[in-house]
């Protein structure tokens, strides 16, 4: 580290040797779990995306008269 480089933030973990650091595509935080790395999204961000999906409308029976001749 040269004198011109800023000091790392507290709690910042350097990536392990030989492994590239993978970050979340939404928030930029480092991804640690296998599932998070496969999706490219952290657990919190995947949850946020799931909430954005429209809920399935409730199913209900419609009362209809029978067709004549059936």
Q: What is the DSSP letter of 15?
A: P
The model's pTM is 0.45
State the sign of the Cα–Cα–Cα–Cα dihedral 47, 52, 55, 56. Answer: negative
Q: Per-domain residue ranges for the chain?
A: 20-52
- Separation of alpha carbons 50 and 68, rounded Å: 46
In a structure prediction context, what are the per-residue pLDDT tens digits for the chain, which is 70 residues long?
Answer: 555 666 666 665 555 556 678 899 999 999 988 888 888 889 888 888 876 666 677 888 888 888 888 7
């Amino acid at each position: 580290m040269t004198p011109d480089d800023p000091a790392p933030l507290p709690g910042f973990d350097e990536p392990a040797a030989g492994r590239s650091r993978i970050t979340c595509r939404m928030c930029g935080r480092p991804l640690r779990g296998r599932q998070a790395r496969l999706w490219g999204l952290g657990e919190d961000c995947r949850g946020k995306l799931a909430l954005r999906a429209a809920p399935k409308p409730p199913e209900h029976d419609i009362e209809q008269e029978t067709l004549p001749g059936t």
